[in-house]
Structure 1
Amino acid sequence: MSEISQLSPQPVWAFFDQICAIPHPSYHEAQLAAFIVDWAKGRGLEVRQDPTGNIFIRKPATPGMENRKGVVLQAHLDMVPQKNEHTEHDFTTDPIRPYIDGEWVTADGTTLGADNGIGMASCLAVLAADDIEHGPLEVLLTTNEEAGMDGAFGLEAGWLEGEVLLNTDSEQEGEIYMGCAGGVDASMHFPVERHPIGDNFARFTVGIKGLKGGHSGVDIHTGRANANKLLARMLSHHLSEIDVSLIALRGGTLRNAIPREAFADIAVPVEQKDALAAAIDNYAQLLHDELGRLEENVTVVLDASDNQADPLTRAVQSRLLAALNAAPNGVIRMSDDVPGVVETSLNLGVIQTDEHTITGLFLIRSLIDSGREMVQGMLRSLAGLANVTVEFSGAYPGWKPDPDSEIMHIFRDTYEAIYQRKPDIMVIHAGLECGLFKKPYPDMDMISFGPTIKFPHSPDEKVNIESVGHYWQQMRAILKAIPEKRA
C-alpha cells in the first residue's frame, strides 16, 4: 500500500490505492473487474455482470430506511492511459504510482486515474461501510467509458431498480452537474500513394512537443494548443519554401485528449538541410511568441530519421496537408442558454499512418444535436474538397437539464446546510454517461458530482485531497436525505 492509503477519508483513499495498483486502461479492465467482483462476493453482497461487462452490486438498506427511494451509485472502471515521453510505463501491466504533492495527489509521469477512480473508490467505500445510513443501494460500474462508452451503450432496462442515480464522474467539488454534451467520433481517411526518391535526400523527424494537452471537453475552451494542428500548420505553410517529401504522420493517442505531441517523418534534398533547420528554428520562435504565456514548454524538434519508406506522392501530400491545416478544431460556439459553457466543439485528437492510409480521428461534442450535425457537415464538406472519405460512429446523446430534478434540490440543500453556501449548478461540455442511461431508464432522476480533479487525461492529472473529504461528506449526507418512495 502506498502513502495515499492513510489519507482522510481513509476508506476512500484505501480503495483508490488498491485501484491504482491494478492496471485498468480502457479495454483492459478485466483484472480490476475481477478483483471487485471477488471482493463483493466475499462480503456477501449480491453481484452480477451483464454481457457488456458492467458490474452491478446490491446492498440492502440500513435498518429503518427500507422504504426510501432506491439509489444507484455509478462510476466507470477504466482510466485514460497517458504518459510523458520519457516515462517507462505499460498501462496494461504496470501499476499507477501515486504520491502526495502538497495539497494534491498525482502520479509519477502518467495519468493518475482519479477520473473516475476516486468515484469508483467512493462507491466501494459505501458498500463496505457499516456507519452510513442509506436506503436500498445499488452500485453500477460501467466498462470502457473513456474510449467509447461501451458499458453505457450496452446498459439494458431491467438491470437497475433504483429511482435515483448519482454519477461520480465530475471534476470540481462544489459543483453539481445536471446536463452534459453529446458527441460523435469522426475518422477522415486519406489513401496513401507513394513514389520513390533518389539517394540525394536526407531523412528527418520533425515534431511538436511539450504541450499541456488535457481533456477535449473540459479543457477545450482554455486555448491549449493542439499538436496535430501545429504540425499540419508547419508542414503546409512554414516549410513551404523547402522541398519536403512527407513519409508519415503520427500525433496524439486518444480522440478525447488534446494531443500534446505530433511528429512527421520527412525527406528533403541534402542541400536544403540547413534551410530546414533554419525554418524549424523560426517556427519554434513563432510558437513561443504566440503561445508562450500558456504553452511555456512548447518545442519544435528536428532529429535524424531511419524511416526508409518511400514518401507520398505530391498530389496526396498536398491534399492531406491542406485538409489537416484547414480542419476545424476547438470551440465552434458558446452556449446562449448556459453562459460560460461551450456549446459545440471538436478535437483532432489522433493522426496515424499505416501501410495504405493516413487517418485523422476527431471527437465532436455539442449540447444540442443540431450543433453536432453542423460540425459533421463541416467535416463532410472538407472531405469532399479533399476527395477523401469521412465516417461517423458512436454517436451518443446529450443529457438535457431538468430544473425540477428532486435529487438536484436535495444536493443543493444538503450542501448549503454543511457549508453555508450554495453549490454551483452546472452543465458540462463533456460526455457523461447519464445521457445514455436515460434511454433504458427515462424516469430515473440523475445528478453528477465529484471532487476537484485538475488536468484529467494528461500526465499532469491530480486530485485535491481536501476536496475528496468534502465530496465524501456530501455523499454521506445525500444518501441519508433520500426521501421515501411515493405511495
Structure 2
Amino acid sequence: MTKPDAIDGLKPVLFWKCFAEISRIPRPSGHEERIAQFILERGKELGLETRQDACGNVLVKKPASSGREGAPSICLQSHLDMVCEKNAGKVHDFMADPIELVRNGNVVTANGTTLGADNGAGVATSLAIMEDATLEHGPLEMLFTLEEETGLKGALNLSGDLVQSRIMLNLDSEDEGVVFIGCAGGKDTLARWQLAYDSVGADLAPAEITVKGLKGGHSGLEIDKELGNAIKILNRALMKLSGLGCRVSSIEGGNMRNAIPRECTAAVYLPNTKLDEAKSLVSSLNATFQSELSSIDPGFVLAISQSASGSGKVLQLPLQQKILMTIASLPTGVQHMSVDMPGLVETSTNVSVIHTTDKEVVLITSQRSSVASRLAEIVQTVESILQLGGGTVEGSSGYPGWKPDMHSPILGVAKRCYQSLFGKEVEVKAVHAGLECGIIGERVPGMDMISFGPSLHGVHSPDEVIYIDSVQRYWDFLLEILRSVR
C-alpha cells in the first residue's frame, strides 16, 4: 500500500488526493471497468451529469461557475488505462494490487512498478476539477477514454455525439512548460512463424540467456535517447552463440507494443563440450554491450545460466536462422528527424515484443511518423524484411497524426496565460507519440486542441516519476486557461 507520507503536504491537495485514490484501483489496458465505474459513481455523488458510450468511454459534465454560463464549453481529456511494467523479481498483480506510491525528494514514483502518472495525472486532474466547487470556469466536459496504450481503442471508437465541446485540452503530455500542438501517426506491424521443432540430443545441455537492467521507456517520447533494446541485444548474443551450436527453444521479450523492451530471455540448448566457451563468449559480449550502453543504460547485464531441465525440443535450425536473421535485419530507433521543427523526431520504428506460444513465434514492431508518406515507407521496409524472413505479416489499422496549427485560438489563449503567470513564453512543440488528439479531431470535426501536462520521466517503465514542483505550475496554468476562455 501507499506509504502514508507519500503525498502528505503536497499541493494542490485535491490533485494528490485524487491521484492516490486512482492509484489504488487496478486499470491495465483492456480492464478499465473498475476505474470507469469509480468515475461514474463519483460524478453522480457530486450531482454531475454522467454518460458512457458503447465502447466504454466516460463523459462527466460540470456546469459553468456563476456568471460564466455563456463561455464556450471546454473538454478536458485523459485516458484511463496505464502501462503495467514491473522490475524482475517484483511481486505485483496489476489486476488486483494497488500501486504503492513513494516520495523521493522532488518526485513521486512507485515501488518497483510503473507509476501510472501516464495518464493518471490527467485523470486525477479532471477528478479534482469535478470536485472543486471554488473554481471559475465555463461549461466543462471531462472525457475519459479507454485502451489508449494498446491501440487507442477508446478514441477510435468514440461516439461522435458524446462530446459537445469544440475546444479540447488533452492532459496527456509530459513536459511542464510545453504546449503540444501536433503528434505522430503510427502503425504496428507483426510477423508470425509457425513452430517446427527438433528433439534434443544427449549432447546438448539446457541453459538460459537473459538481458536485464535496461531502462526501457516510451517508444515515441524516448526513441531518440539511444536506449538499449533488449530484443535486439539478446538477438546479437544468440547470433554469436549460434556459431557454437546454440539451439533456441523459445524467446520472450518486451511486454508493450509502445515500449522499448527492457528485458528479454531465451531458453536454449548448448553442446556440452561448448559450455565453458559459451560462458566466456557471453562474458565478453556483456563487457562489449556495457561499454556501448555505459552512458545511457549503465544497469545493463547479459547473463548465461545453466538450467536444471528444459523443454526437450528446439526450433528447427532453418527456422531459428530465419527468425534471428530477421531480427538482426530490422531497423530500430530514429529513421528521420523533422526538417520543419528542429529537434523533433519525424519517423521511427521499434522492435517491441517477441513471444513464443505453443504454436508460433510472434514478433511485434511499431512504426511512427508525423509525415504520412514516411510512415508508409518505414512500414513497407519492416514488412519487406519480415516477409523475406519467412514470417506471416499482419498490420494494424493504425492511427492518424495531428497536424500542427500555429493559429489555433486555444493555443493563443494558452500562450497569453503562461506569459501572464510565469513571465516567460511557453514552448510550443509537436511530439513523436500517438496522442489521441488526431483521432478525436476526426471523430469530432472542428475541435480546437492543445496538449499539456506536468513533467514525467521514464514512463512505461518502473523508473516512471512525476515531478512534484511541476504539478502546481501545471495546475495553475490549467486553471488560468479555464478562467480565460470566454
TM exceeding 0.5: yes
* Contact 1:245/1:312 (<8 A) preserved: yes
Aligned to 1:300: 302
Aligned to 1:252: 254
Cα distance per residue 1:403-431 (max 9 Å; x no partner): 11000011111000000000100100001
Output the amino acid matched with 1:232.
N
Aligned to 1:400: 403
Superposed counterparts of 1:85-124, under 5 Å: 85-124=88-127
Which deviates more, 172-181 or 366-375?
366-375
Q: Distance in 2 between matches of 1:291 and 1:39?
A: 47
Cα distance per residue 1:421-476 (max 9 Å; x no partner): 00100100001000000112120100000000011000000001110000100111
Secondary structure of residue in 2 paired with 1:396: coil
Aligned to 1:211: 214
* Contact 1:6/1:13 (<8 A) preserved: no
1:477 maps onto 2:480 in alignment: yes
Q: Distance in 2 between matches of 1:468 and 1:350?
A: 33
Cα distance per residue 1:346-392 (max 9 Å; x no partner): 11110000122111111111101111111111122112321222110
Aligned to 1:268: 270
Q: Distance in 2 between matches of 1:362 and 1:49?
A: 32
Residue 129 of structure 1: how far off its partner (Å): 0.9
Output the amino acid matched with 2:320.
Q
Secondary structure of residue in 1 paired with 2:475: helix
In structure 2, stretches of 5+ residues that fail to align are none
Identity %: 39
Q: Distance in 1 between matches of 2:372 and 2:312?
A: 43
Superposed counterparts of 1:164-313, under 5 Å: 164-236=167-239, 238-305=240-307, 306-313=309-316
Secondary structure of residue in 2 paired with 1:438: helix
* Contact 2:54/2:159 (<8 A) preserved: no
Residue 394 of structure 1: how far off its partner (Å): 3.5
Output the amino acid matched with 1:225.
G
Figure out how many residues of one structure are paired with residues of the other and give that number.
482
Cα distance per residue 1:162-216 (max 9 Å; x no partner): 1200000000000000000111111111221111121121000101110110110
Q: Distance in 1 between matches of 2:352 and 2:200?
A: 31
Aligned to 1:33: 36
Aligned to 2:423: 420
Q: Distance in 2 between matches of 1:21 and 1:394?
A: 34
Match of 2:82 among 79, 84, 97: 79
* Contact 2:189/2:383 (<8 A) preserved: no
Root mean square deviation, CA, Å: 1.0
Aligned to 2:322: 319
Superposed counterparts of 1:306-455, under 5 Å: 306-455=309-458
| Cα pair distance change 1:110/1:262, threshold 3 Å | same
Output the amino acid matched with 1:280.
V
Aligned to 2:47: 44
Output the amino acid matched with 2:371.
I
* Contact 1:142/1:151 (<8 A) preserved: yes
Which deviates more, 218-227 or 291-300?
291-300
Residue 241 of structure 1: how far off its partner (Å): 2.7
Residue 130 of structure 1: how far off its partner (Å): 1.3
Q: Distance in 1 between matches of 2:389 and 2:352?
A: 20
Q: Distance in 2 between matches of 1:114 and 1:155?
A: 23
Q: TM-score by structure 2 length?
A: 0.98
Cα distance per residue 1:29-52 (max 9 Å; x no partner): 111111111111111100011111
* Contact 1:243/1:269 (<8 A) preserved: yes
Q: Distance in 2 between matches of 1:134 and 1:290?
A: 52
1:57 maps onto 2:60 in alignment: yes
Secondary structure of residue in 2 paired with 1:133: coil
Residue 245 of structure 1: how far off its partner (Å): 0.8
Q: Distance in 2 between matches of 1:5 and 1:435?
A: 37
Q: TM-score by structure 1 length?
A: 0.97
Q: Distance in 2 between matches of 1:339 and 1:39?
A: 44
* Contact 2:50/2:61 (<8 A) preserved: yes
- Runs of 4+ with deviation above 3 angstroms: none
Superposed counterparts of 1:150-169, under 5 Å: 150-169=153-172
Q: Distance in 2 between matches of 1:78 and 1:386?
A: 35
* Contact 1:252/1:261 (<8 A) preserved: yes
Secondary structure of residue in 1 paired with 2:402: coil
Output the amino acid matched with 2:92.
H
Q: Distance in 2 between matches of 1:5 and 1:161?
A: 37
Output the amino acid matched with 2:46.
R
Residue 5 of structure 1: how far off its partner (Å): 5.3
Output the amino acid matched with 1:158.
D
* Contact 1:5/1:14 (<8 A) preserved: no
In structure 1, stretches of 5+ residues that fail to align are none
Output the amino acid matched with 2:427.
D
Output the amino acid matched with 2:13.
Q
* Contact 2:209/2:266 (<8 A) preserved: yes
Q: Distance in 2 between matches of 1:171 and 1:361?
A: 26
